[in-house]
A and B are shown apart, each in its own frame.
Chain A
């Protein structure tokens, strides 16, 4: 069993829809990261969470440490949000992260 599981693997939405991507993990963590991989391949960090909730523009990330679960929400989705969204967890004093396989999001106009 993978230590970091994301669902769904693939997601197609219509422009304007509210989107939720889920991440569950099976190990104790000190931090959880959400990253975005553009269709061209570039990877950028969206959020780092150790508790609670963070918001940046139309993106919201939440984490429930007790349930070992995090969600990434996108409000008023747009075709430019089409990308692979990756969840990664960190376990300790080193910067090493364990990555999920990603969720491929396609937003249709």
Chain B
């Protein structure tokens, strides 16, 4: 099992460009999450999907959109990238939304995004 995979690993964008970060999990998990990690700050939740067909905003959703394409895949889109979106982005998944915050999350390797 690959676990949680993310593509790309690195990306450089110019201000105003758009891109989609891809995430897939092969653990048959119901819930998936997108986080960003910035220096000196803890991980912050951008969007999450408690189950296939649902998505909800997290702490820092502005400037992002998400799609839960199917149970395996959860993508994050930047429509018009800004330098403030320079960050490392992590996707995660957990087995069962009914476990709530007790569910252990499994993380992807991260995508390092730079917006010039």
Residue from A45, A50, A92 in contact with B106 in the complex, judged by beta carbons closer than 8 Å? A45
Interchain Cβ contacts under 8 Å between A and B, 30 examples: A30-B101, A31-B100, A31-B102, A41-B109, A41-B110, A43-B107, A43-B110, A45-B107, A86-B42, A90-B100, A90-B101, A90-B102, A92-B101, A93-B100, A93-B101, A94-B97, A94-B101, A95-B31, A95-B33, A95-B48, A95-B94, A95-B97, A95-B100, A97-B43, A97-B101, A98-B42, A99-B42, A100-B42, A101-B40, A102-B42
Instruction: State A47–B110 Cα separation when bound (angstroms).
Output: 21
Residue from A42, A86, A93, A95 in contact with B43 in the complex, judged by beta carbons closer than 8 Å? A86
Q: In terms of DSSP, what is the predominant structure of the interface of chain B? A: mixed
Instruction: State A91–B94 Cα separation when bound (angstroms).
Output: 16
Report yes or no: B100 in contact with A30, Cβ–Cβ below 8 A.
Answer: yes
Report yes or no: A45 in contact with B104, Cβ–Cβ below 8 A.
Answer: yes
